[in-house]
Chain A
Amino acid sequence: MTALLLAVFTPLAGAGVLALTRSLGLAGWINVIVSAATFAASIALARDVAAAGEVAGMTFRVDAFNVYLLALTAFVGMTTSIFSRPYMRHVCQTGRTNARGMRLYHSMYQTFMFTMLLALSTDNLGVLWVAVEGATLATVLLVSLYRTPEAVEAAWKYFILCGVGIALALFGTVLTYFAAQSVLADPAEGLTWSALYTAAPKLEPSIMSLAFVFLLVGYGTKIGLVPMHQWLPDAHSEGPTPMSAVLSGLLLNVALYAVVRLKMLVDGSLAASASPHMAGRLLMGFGLLSFLVAGLFLHRQRDIKRMFSYSSIEHMGLMTFAFGLGGPLATFGALLHMLVHSLTKSAIFVTVGHAAHIAGTQSINNIRGLIRTQPAVGWSLLIAVAAIAGFPPFGIFTSEFLLLTATMKLQPWFTVALLLGLAVAFAGLFRHLHPMVYGPAPEGQKPVPANMIPVAVHLGLVLWLGLSIPGFLARWLDRATELITGGHLL
C-alpha cells in the first residue's frame, strides 16, 4: 500500500517542488530524480502485486491489469525526463520558451504523471474521470508552450475537443451510477469499479449500453479514435517533443485502459441481453476505422511529428479492435501491444526530437541524410520505425502476429482489411522515412548533442520482448487476460 501511495503521490509532491524551483538546471535534475523515485516506487508496488495478487484499499485497486501499465507509465516517464533535460535546455537556449515556461513545463510534467498514475491505480470511476480530465488540463498549457499561432490553435482544439469528450464521459459515468443505484446494497459504492464488476450481471442493460456509448465517445476522444481524433495530430505536432512522447506513450494507453475496464462492466451487464457483444462490436468498428483512416493519413504528411502521431492513432485503433475482438489470444496480444507500442513510440518521438534539432525543422521535406550527419540518430530512427511497422525481432511483431492469427480464427474476413491497412500504413511510413534517413546530407548540417541512451534502452526492451516474454510479465498479462476475457493461455 505504501508503495502504491508513494508511486502515485511522489509526482504530485515533485510538481509542487518544481513549481517553486527557479534554477533551470536544477529543475531538470529534480525532474529526473522525482521520476526515478516514482519508477522505483512502482517497481516496489509491482513486487507487492506479484506477491499478493492485488493491492486494494482507499479507493485504490491495483491488479494484474493495471500494475504493468503503472510500471510502464513510471518507466517511460523516467526515460522521457532523462531525455527532456538536455532537450528542453536546448529549446530554452534557442529561445522558443523562457524560464517561466520551463517552470510551467516541469511542474506540469509531474502533474501529468500524477494524473496518469492516479487514473491507472484508482478503483473509482469518478476519480478516474477527474484524473483524465486533470491530465487534459495539465497538458493543454504545455501544448501551447511555444506560443506560436499554430501551438495556440492546437492547444485550443485539444482543449475543446477533449473537454467535450470528457464531459460526455462524465454523463456516461453518471448513467452508470444511476444504473448502480437500484442494484448495489450501498448506493455510495455506485462508482467503485470492483463493486460494479461483481454486480455487473444485475445492472440494467439498456442504461449500461447508453452509458457505454457516452463513455466510449468520451474516452475514445482521448484514445484518438476516428472520427474524434482530430485534436491528436495537432497537439502532438505543436507541443514540445517530450510531451508528444508521453502523450502518445501514456495518455492514449490510459484512455484505452479506461474503456476496457468499462467494457468489462458492460459485457457483464449485457451478457444475458439480446446483443451480448454490443461493446465488442463497437470497439471493433471504431478500431478498424481508426486503423484504416490513420494509415491513409500517413501518406500526405509533411510534418514528421504529425506523421508519427497518426501512426499512434493507427496502433491505438489496432488495439481497440483487438480488445473488441475478445478472446484470450487477441486480448493477450493487445495487452502486449500496449506495452511495446508505448515503448517504441516514445523512443521514436525522442529520436524525432533530435532529428528535428539536426535539421532545424519538423518539415519532412527538409530533414535529409540523417545517417550521414549523425548515424546514431539516423539508425535509431530507421530501426525504431522498422519496429513500429511490425518487423521482428521486435515485440510489436509478436503482438501483431497474435492479433492476426486470432482474427483469422475468429473473424476471418476482417483479416483482409487488416492486411490492407498494414500495407498502406507501412508504405505511408517508409515513403517519408527513406529520404529522411538515407541519402546525402545537405550542406552544413551538423550533429547535435544527443542522449540516445533512453532510445537504446527502449528498443532493447522491445527487442527482448520480441525474442522472449519474461515469465513474470507473461503471468501478469495472462492474469489480465483472464480478468478481461475469462479465458487464459498459459
Chain B
Amino acid sequence: MNLTALTLALLQLSLYVALAPLLAGWVRKVKARLQNRRGASVLQPYRDIYKLLVKETLVAHTASPLFRAAPYVVFSATWLATSAVPLVSTGLPAAMIADVIVVAGLLALARFFLTLAGMDVGTAFGGMGASREMFISALAEPAMLMAVFTLAMTAHSTNMASVVEYQLAEGTILRPSFLFALSGLILVAIAETGRIPVDNPATHLELTMIHEAMILEYSGRHLALMEWAAQLKLMLYGALIANVFLPWGIAQGSGAGELASGLAAAVVKLGLLGAALAASETALAKMRLFRIPDFLNLALLLALLGLLSYVILEVGA
C-alpha cells in the first residue's frame, strides 16, 4: 500500500482519537441544554483526560499485573478497531487489513480485558459490573453482527470501505432490510456504548452501574485510557451508523478538498447523531437490568428480520 494510503490511515486514526472526546462532550452539552442546564463546556472531556493523566495513579494491593496492563490493551484494541471504519474517506487501506468481523473481534477483545480488569481487584462491584457487561454484550454482539451481515450480504463484501462505496454507487434505494438493520444497529450501539436506557454513564449509584462498576478501581492515567476508549467506542458506532447507512458526503478519493468536505460531512452527521442520542437519553429512563434482555432481543429480532428480508425479498427479486 502506497504512502498516501498510509498517511490516510494515520490521519483517520488520529482524527478518531482526537475527536472522540469532543463527541462525548457535545452529547453532554446538548443533554444539559435539553435539561435546561448550561452544562460544562464541550471541551470538558479533554480537560478531564488531561487531569487524570497528570494525577497520581492508585493500584489496589490485591491487583494483579493484568490490572495494570488492561487499560493499554483496551485502549489500543478499540483504537485499532476504529481504523477500519471509514470516517472521512473510503480509500482506506486499514479496511483491507481488518474487515467488519475483525472490528467486532477487536471490540470483543477490549471488552474481554475490561471485564477481567473489573474482576481483578476482587471487589463485589467489579464482579457485578463484569457479569452484567458480558451478559449484555452476549446478547448485543450477535445482533450487531447480524445487522452488519445484512449490509455485507447486500454489498457482497464485509469490507467496510467497499460497503460504503457500494452504497454510494447504488444511490438511495429504500431497502426494507436496511431499515431493520439500521434500527437494530442503533439499539445495539446504545447497549454497547453503555448509554441510557441500558446503562447510565453518569451514575455511580452502586447497584445500577455497569461500565462504571468495572472501572471503579481505576484512577489516574489508567482511568483516562479507559474513559478515552469508551469515547472512541461511542464515536466508532456513530461513524458506523452515519457513514454506512447515510454515506453521503464521504470522500472517495484522497484529494485534500474531498477529505475536507468528507470531514465536514462526518462532523455534521455525528453531531446530529449525538444530538439525537442526547434527546433520547433525556426522554427515556434507565431500565431494570432484567428488562434489558427484552430490549436486546428486540435488537436481535430486528437484525435477523433485516437479514431474512434481504435473503427472502431482495435476492429473489
A and B touch in the complex (CB under 8 A): no
